[in-house]
Chain A
Amino acid sequence: MTAVAPAAFQQANIDYLAVLPLLIVFGAALVGVLVEAFVPRERRHTIQLTISVASLVLAFVAILFATKHQGLTFGYTDGATSRRLFALAIDGPALFMQGALVLMGVLGILIMAERFGGVGSDAFTASGASTPGSPIEAASARAGLITSEVFPLTLFAIGGMMLFPTVNDLIGMFIALEVLSLPLYILSGLARRRRLLSQEASLKYFLLGAFSSAFFLFGTALLYGYAGSVYFGDLSKAVSDTSLGLNGLLVAGAFLVFVGLLFKVGAVPFHAWTPDVYQGAPTPVTGFMAACTKAAAFGAILRLAYVGLDTASWQWQNAVIIVAVLTMIVGAVLSVTQTDMKRLLAYSSIAHAGFVLVGVLAFDQRGVSSVLFYVVAYGFSIIAAFGLVTLVRQDGGEATHLSQWAGLGKSHPVIAGTMAFLMLAFAGIPLTSGFVAKFAVFAAAIGTGGATGTVLVVIGAVCSAITVFVYARVIVLMFFSEPADDTVEVLVPSVGTTFAIAIGTLITFALGVVPSSLLDLADRASQFVR
């Protein structure tokens, strides 16, 4: 064992146009922090909202430009060993995910900004740190305090999510994981109503998230010990070069890293936080998390599975197959019994995570494109669905119990009709994006997943049928039942929320009827750079 002489310092190559979208979002988040510090309270909400939406739109434009600047960046090619040590991979999947995240982020933020005529966002508490029910809480509500810091927090989360599928090494992935998670932990605890539930959700999310992050880091350390590098390219190469004697590190490390990522998508058995957090978090945040966290985490899983640990897939794929099966079954079966709208959607999101995993396990370019399409299709639908949940109220608070939705089809046919349509999309009925997404994933799995893929798809089909039962029950409840009591009302949303829900629903419809353009885009964007 001899020490290697330190190589001469090499400057990193940074293609600023390629990383501009990230810079814009993080920059806007920092500006948002300054706004919190220096702008008078009554003007913060509007300014923050403007900054957030404008920066995301700008970031989207920048992503369009970045498509001309694909390749590895933020690093250098080592002169001595010609290893390519780049922290970021600006490639099709990364840019596709970034674009999707930015657009879904806009919708999420618009729903978060809903004020219903009040001073600040309706969903968020006036003072997050105050004890629920304490005099301080009452005082801060009286004083008209607002929690406009949710906007920079959300921007930070979006930035982390954009980074998550873009990073090209394990450490970067960990940083992205934390950057996206920490704001979400806070956002989950800021609900205006039922605050104890919200704080409990936040605590659970944080503690379990901390554990899974620790596992991820532990796994990273083991994989580094195995490959001597954290870069995905080196990792992939090391698997084909290194002797089998070190497999103890490789397998354990790969499992641990996957635990960290699967936790974020809510795959069984790391799903336990999902219903509790989805229920407790402010509903707009739940919608945002369900759409964007899932998309970002699947982007990261794809990169890890297809670029970093692709050569070792026979070591870990059986475990992930089991996880996928469990996720589909548990998500579908447990959604049957739910009586709370948010919990129902939470379990449905678990089941959907299972379907997406089936696509991941196709181990083929078509698998990549089907996953990309799926998360986008699901994301827009779920944002709209949670947006609708924020509108249905009883005594001021959200009416999330299913019995409160009974007969909504009679009193508010548009809201109930939209929800029913989204439910059909979740069930995967044709002419909705849900069908095309599910079909693309299933086709990829059968096409290249071999016998395992076929078995997974059969299980997926049975689970889909079970979830149809769940969604149909909600539709029956809304349209074919008498309202239990008539104090349930539907608030009239502002332009922003209406826009967000309408766009989410329209995209759900459009992707069901004319999905070609997005499918083609996902197809063209399904090639990773190495």
Chain B
Amino acid sequence: MVQLLLVHLVAAAVAPVLVRFLGRNAFLVLALAPASALAWLLSVAADVRAGNGPVQRVSWVPGLGLDLDFRLTTLSWVLALLVTGVGALVLFYCRWYFTATDPTLWRFTAVFTAFAGAMLGLVLTDNFLVLYVFWELTTVFSYLLIGHNPASSTNRRAAMQALIVTTLGGLAMLVGIIALGVRHSYRISEVVAHPPALDAVTIGAVVLLLVGALSKSALVPFHFWLPGAMAAPTPVSAYLHAAAMVKAGVYLVALLAPAFAGAPGWHALTVGLGLFTMLVGGWRALRQYDIKLLLAYGTVSQLGFMVALAGLGTREGGLAALALVVSHAFFKSTLFLTVGVIDRSTGTRDLRELSGVGRRLLPLSVPAVLAALSMAGIPPLAGFVAKEAALQAGLEAASDGVPFAAAWGWLMTVTLVVGSILTVAYSTRFVWGAFARKPGMPLTPVRVPHPGFLLAPLLLGVGSLLVGLLAPLEHPWLLPYAQQLVRGAPPALLALWHGFTPALGLSALAIAIGVGLFVWRDRVGRVQRAVPPLVDGERAYARFMRGLDVGAVEVTARTQRGSLPFYLATIVFVFVALPGMAALLRGSVGPVRLWDTPAQAVVGAVIVVACVLVLLTDRRLASVMLVGVTGYGVSTLFILHGAPDLAITQMLVETVSLVVFVLALRRLPTRFERHERSLRRRLRVLLGIAFGASVAAVILVASAARHVVPVSIDFPEQAHSFGHGSNIVNVTLVDIRAWDTLGEVSVLVAAATGIASLIFVKTRNTRLSTASEQAIAPTEPTRGTWLRGGRTLRRERRSVMFEVVTRLIFHIMIAVSLYVLFSGHNLPGGGFAGGLVAGLALVVRYLAGGRYELDEAAPFDAGLAVGIGLLIVVLAALAPLAFGGTILQSAVFDFTLPPWGEVHLVTSAIFDMGVYLIVFGMMLDIVRSLGTGIDRQISAERRAEAEV
């Protein structure tokens, strides 16, 4: 059976080539693919009837249970016969349907053949997953076939609609399949032979599978896609929407019926929706003027009929369903192909424009009338036999002892009669509309078609008659399926004559009323117009799609405006909602001591006030200052807590950040743009408060949760005995945690370089320009100048006081920085603090004397200081190795240096010197880039403006 599929695959692959060489005749060659499959199927007929049809198992993806299992049961054999037989005939018919000049013929032939293969695979496979694979493939291929003529937007929309609806159904089915397969088996025959217990999951799975089946077979509420898909070329409609694809749903229901027919919800979904669809489809068919649409609604109606029968789950019902599937394939494909011929020969499908076609095209109209009679259920055609069996099944179920099943049986019988009435009416309407000679209308001009064009409908139409006449012969071939079902009596023989049974009476009644409906069609039409449409799936679908579109646009507009604050607010909100709430609800807070000294409370209050003021001010500079206040407040807290070293470092860092801010803020507007009263701002403030509260909660919980001895408890002792110093913070930095420091200073170097290179786009600022090299205007008095660089500034920017003070304190600051560096080991300070002080000294020079003054103060590249610093740090780290120590080991030298006095030199001080240089160099880099660099950009812009 894999071979049959391969034949189709190869045929599809070579189809474009064939079209290239043979033109339209390629269809005749391609028809051989389904025809060969048909021949093979006929050759194994006896085996299938005997119940030992061929089985083939090819391993594909064993890990997922996805295996190419194939088997032939009666059900799949019958459907395979229809798929291949009708497929071959339709391909044959296509030869004359398409014009030779159709440019997309290569695509059509390939897709059509591939579709035939996928459809064959669908009915042959014994694996649910493979069934799903073929199911989706038929969806995709049918999408391409429906959209074959892409010029019209109707086609595109129809194709899309069919795709969405059936894919949704397919995905629902996939979920059902997985739910069945994971717990039981993916093999269909196993599930059918040993149905799993009907627990909640299984029932859910079955319902999902049915949703897939219903969507594919266009049952209410999915029925609307099928008429829409009539935009497809007629051979596609004849094949997909009569014989093949829409039958997939019926097939699935029939397949599952032996195992699950009793499951809760099963009958409501299959029988209930099926019968309802039958009525809705028939009712709508009566209103159509396009004969193709008429057939489409007729198909919807018949599909409902078939699903209802197959879902009934009795033996009689199963047999009737199968007989109906066969007869429907014959008559509906005949009729669609007929419509194609009429369309091609007359150029219209509107029954108000067609007149007298039947007489002109007798070889077409005779089989078409036969098919229509079959559809209406008139003896002696196949449709009549099937409908008799169906009525029989309904009556039998109605007399069932179980009240619930009996109710379905009664409902079925009554609905079948009503449905048959409608069917008779629209069948008559079709024949009359397509072929009759209407009084008062001119005869439609007809181009006589090629005989080959008429062959397929002729064969299928005559088939309808033969199947009806020879029904008893058909019976034993279909019976094995019915015997699989467990409920109901063994079915009666399929035949034209069973004697005067109630079913026959109902048939006669239906035919009579149906003809009456047609005769009084004008009056019926008026009634129809007065009745509002009961279910409008299409409108619901359109509404959902529009809702989706609008919803997506709205949500995008609201949440995805590209606003960083909004994105951030979302994340912050999640922080508040999840970890924040978790800490509040699950965490336990230890005893809280509010303060050690009231001074801490005062400082805390200052910090809080500063925070509030930040929100209120609209000046950038002021808000930076206020943020600075919080930082200084924290360092005050450090002092109050007895950590002067931390406090000094924090203060210095705060100062440096302020300077950096101020330097950068020069290029920004002085005020924020704020909409004070806006709701958004208030929400943000609220969120900010919540965020702060969450963090506070987390911190409280975290600090109460300490249950292990802190590692720092050993630090005081170790700082003294191993690090030879009494400033624990500094010893931690340069000794205990010196590895960390090494890493951090490297990062610092990289960061400083990064900042500088962003400001000086091309290269680092290597070109120095000291004030002494500048040509100084002769008018400037050179005497009495405290800072040389000051002379390069414009007069209004100079401040004598500032220059004098700078001149006085610069060297003092450098000295202090060195003192801080060297005293750091035992007293507050250290290389980091020292470097910051030295850097601040540079900042002062820059602020007082401008960029030339800065280059006077530090006439070297910042990279030099940073690089030497890093070198010292690394060497100091490695040096102990040379003396037999380990990396970063400290040694102490105590000696007397005559003018100085007692010297207590710890080698880690050398490491600290490197840190000092790095921090100093980084400060220089900051001032050079944010100060000098921006100065240059400003003056360059001024010059450019002046030139303009």
Q: Flag whether B575 is at the interface (Cβ < 8 A).
A: yes
Sample of 10 further A-B pairs with CB below 8 A, known A319-B578, A461-B171: A252-B587, A269-B570, A270-B570, A334-B556, A337-B552, A454-B201, A461-B174, A462-B168, A465-B167, A468-B164
Contact B137 A439 (CB under 8 A): no
Residues of the A chain whose Cβ atoms lie less than 8 Å from the Cβ of B555: 330, 333-334
Cross-chain contact of A333 among B552, B570, B698, B707 (Cβ < 8 A): B552
Q: What would 8 A/B residue contacts be, using CB atoms closer than 8 Å?
A: A3-B713, A208-B567, A249-B587, A252-B580, A269-B574, A276-B560, A516-B62, A519-B61
Report A122 CB to chain B, min CB distance, Å. 22
User: How far is A440 from B182 in the complex, measured between Cα atoms in Å?
Assistant: 11
Name A477's closest neighbour in chain B (CB-CB). Answer: B156
Name A227's closest neighbour in chain B (CB-CB). Answer: B708
Cross-chain contact of A446 among B143, B155, B178, B571 (Cβ < 8 A): B178
Name B588's closest neighbour in chain A (CB-CB). Answer: A245
Contact B761 A130 (CB under 8 A): yes
Contact B582 A251 (CB under 8 A): yes
Name B182's closest neighbour in chain A (CB-CB). Answer: A447
Q: What sequence of 0s and 1s flags, for each residue 28-66 of chain A, a beta carbon within 8 Å of any chain B beta carbon?
A: 000000000000000000000000000000000000000
Cross-chain contact of B140 among A251, A424, A443 (Cβ < 8 A): A424
Residues of the B chain whose Cβ atoms lie less than 8 Å from the Cβ of A516: 60-63
Report A259 CB to chain B, min CB distance, Å. 7
Cross-chain contact of A129 among B164, B551, B573, B758 (Cβ < 8 A): B758
Contact A337 B179 (CB under 8 A): no
Residues of the B chain whose Cβ atoms lie less than 8 Å from the Cβ of A514: 60-61
Q: Flag whether A151 is at the interface (Cβ < 8 A).
A: no
Flag the segment in B38-46, B128-136, B607-615 that touches A: B128-136
Contact A3 B709 (CB under 8 A): yes
Residues of the A chain whose Cβ atoms lie less than 8 Å from the Cβ of B562: 200, 204, 276
Flag the segment in A16-24, A74-82, A428-436 that touches B: A428-436
Residues of the A chain whose Cβ atoms lie less than 8 Å from the Cβ of B573: 269
Q: What sequence of 0s and 1s flags, for each residue 286-306 of chain A, a beta carbon within 8 Å of any chain B beta carbon?
A: 000000000000000000000
Contact A454 B179 (CB under 8 A): yes
Contact A476 B61 (CB under 8 A): no
Residues of the A chain whose Cβ atoms lie less than 8 Å from the Cβ of B709: 1-4
Given contacts A248-B705, A252-B701, contact A458 B571 (CB under 8 A): no
User: How far is A129 from B66 in the complex, measured between Cα atoms in Å?
Assistant: 53
User: How far is A62 from B583 in the complex, measured between Cα atoms in Å?
Assistant: 45
Report A312 CB to chain B, min CB distance, Å. 12
Contact A473 B160 (CB under 8 A): yes
Flag the segment in A84-92, A211-219, A494-502 that touches B: A211-219
Size band of the A side of the interface? 35 or more
Contact A337 B556 (CB under 8 A): yes
Given contacts A225-B702, A337-B549, A516-B61, contact A439 B129 (CB under 8 A): yes
Q: Flag whether A368 is at the interface (Cβ < 8 A).
A: no
Contact A208 B575 (CB under 8 A): no
Report B688 CB to chain A, min CB distance, Å. 14
Report A249 CB to chain B, min CB distance, Å. 5
| Interface members, chain B 524-563 (any A CB < 8 Å) | 545, 548-549, 551-553, 555-556, 559-560, 562
Cross-chain contact of B174 among A246, A251, A439 (Cβ < 8 A): A439
Q: Flag whether B485 is at the interface (Cβ < 8 A).
A: no
Q: Flag whether A116 is at the interface (Cβ < 8 A).
A: no
Given contacts A204-B567, A480-B150, contact A246 B64 (CB under 8 A): no
User: How far is A4 from B710 in the complex, measured between Cα atoms in Å?
Assistant: 10
| Interface members, chain B 733-775 (any A CB < 8 Å) | 757-758, 761-762
User: How far is A464 from B170 in the complex, measured between Cα atoms in Å?
Assistant: 11
Given contacts A248-B583, A440-B64, A516-B61, contact A275 B560 (CB under 8 A): yes
Report A87 CB to chain B, min CB distance, Å. 15
Contact B164 A465 (CB under 8 A): yes
Cross-chain contact of A429 among B136, B159, B204, B714 (Cβ < 8 A): B136
Q: Flag whether A506 is at the interface (Cβ < 8 A).
A: no
User: How far is A468 from B60 in the complex, measured between Cα atoms in Å?
Assistant: 26
| Interface members, chain B 571-608 (any A CB < 8 Å) | 571, 573-575, 578-580, 582-583, 585-588
Cross-chain contact of A222 among B63, B159, B702 (Cβ < 8 A): B702
Residues of the A chain whose Cβ atoms lie less than 8 Å from the Cβ of B66: 436, 439
User: How far is A446 from B545 in the complex, measured between Cα atoms in Å?
Assistant: 29
Given contacts A440-B64, A446-B175, contact A251 B571 (CB under 8 A): no
Interface residues of A (CB under 8 A from B): 1-4, 6, 127, 129-131, 136, 140, 200, 203-204, 207-208, 211-212, 215, 218-219, 221-222, 225-226, 228, 245-253, 255-256, 259, 263, 269-270, 272-273, 275-276, 319, 330, 333-338, 424, 427, 429-431, 435-436, 439-440, 442-443, 446-447, 454, 457-458, 461-462, 464-466, 468-469, 472-473, 476, 479-481, 514-516, 519-520, 523
Q: Flag whether B706 is at the interface (Cβ < 8 A).
A: yes
Cross-chain contact of A336 among B150, B159, B549, B574 (Cβ < 8 A): B549
Residues of the B chain whose Cβ atoms lie less than 8 Å from the Cβ of A429: 136-137, 140
Contact B548 A129 (CB under 8 A): no
Name A409's closest neighbour in chain B (CB-CB). Answer: B150
| Interface members, chain B 146-192 (any A CB < 8 Å) | 147, 150, 155-156, 159-160, 163-164, 167-168, 171-172, 174-175, 178-179, 181-183
User: How far is A520 from B548 in the complex, measured between Cα atoms in Å?
Assistant: 39
Most buried by A among B175, B568, B575, B758: B175
User: How far is A130 from B759 in the complex, measured between Cα atoms in Å?
Assistant: 9
Residues of the A chain whose Cβ atoms lie less than 8 Å from the Cβ of B289: none
Residues of the A chain whose Cβ atoms lie less than 8 Å from the Cβ of B578: 252, 255, 259, 319
Residues of the A chain whose Cβ atoms lie less than 8 Å from the Cβ of B801: none
Residues of the A chain whose Cβ atoms lie less than 8 Å from the Cβ of B402: none
Cross-chain contact of B552 among A251, A270, A336 (Cβ < 8 A): A336
Top 8 nearest A-B pairs (CB, nearest first) are: A248-B587, A480-B150, A337-B552, A272-B567, A251-B582, A430-B133, A252-B579, A461-B171
Residues of the A chain whose Cβ atoms lie less than 8 Å from the Cβ of B948: none
Residues of the B chain whose Cβ atoms lie less than 8 Å from the Cβ of A446: 175, 178-179, 182
Name A442's closest neighbour in chain B (CB-CB). Answer: B178
Residues of the A chain whose Cβ atoms lie less than 8 Å from the Cβ of B175: 442, 446, 454, 457-458, 461
Report A170 CB to chain B, min CB distance, Å. 15
Report B65 CB to chain A, min CB distance, Å. 8
Contact B551 A212 (CB under 8 A): no
Contact B163 A248 (CB under 8 A): no
Residues of the A chain whose Cβ atoms lie less than 8 Å from the Cβ of B140: 424, 429
User: How far is A337 from B553 in the complex, measured between Cα atoms in Å?
Assistant: 6
Name B179's closest neighbour in chain A (CB-CB). Answer: A446
Q: Flag whether B432 is at the interface (Cβ < 8 A).
A: no
Report B260 CB to chain A, min CB distance, Å. 18
User: How far is A253 from B204 in the complex, measured between Cα atoms in Å?
Assistant: 38
Residues of the A chain whose Cβ atoms lie less than 8 Å from the Cβ of B564: 203-204, 207-208
Report B770 CB to chain A, min CB distance, Å. 25
User: How far is A481 from B160 in the complex, measured between Cα atoms in Å?
Assistant: 13
User: How far is A208 from B564 in the complex, measured between Cα atoms in Å?
Assistant: 8
User: How far is A246 from B589 in the complex, measured between Cα atoms in Å?
Assistant: 10
Contact A259 B571 (CB under 8 A): yes
Most buried by A among B129, B571, B579: B579
User: How far is A82 from B116 in the complex, measured between Cα atoms in Å?
Assistant: 66
Contact B706 A457 (CB under 8 A): no
Cross-chain contact of B64 among A219, A275, A439, A481 (Cβ < 8 A): A439
Contact B61 A246 (CB under 8 A): no
| Interface members, chain B 704-728 (any A CB < 8 Å) | 705-709, 713-714
Contact A246 B137 (CB under 8 A): no
Cross-chain contact of A462 among B171, B204, B553 (Cβ < 8 A): B171
Given contacts A251-B579, A252-B698, A446-B175, contact A480 B167 (CB under 8 A): no
Q: Flag whether B566 is at the interface (Cβ < 8 A).
A: yes
Contact A226 B147 (CB under 8 A): no
Contact A469 B574 (CB under 8 A): no
Contact A519 B582 (CB under 8 A): no
Residues of the B chain whose Cβ atoms lie less than 8 Å from the Cβ of A253: 579
Contact A442 B174 (CB under 8 A): yes
Contact B147 A127 (CB under 8 A): no
User: How far is A219 from B702 in the complex, measured between Cα atoms in Å?
Assistant: 11
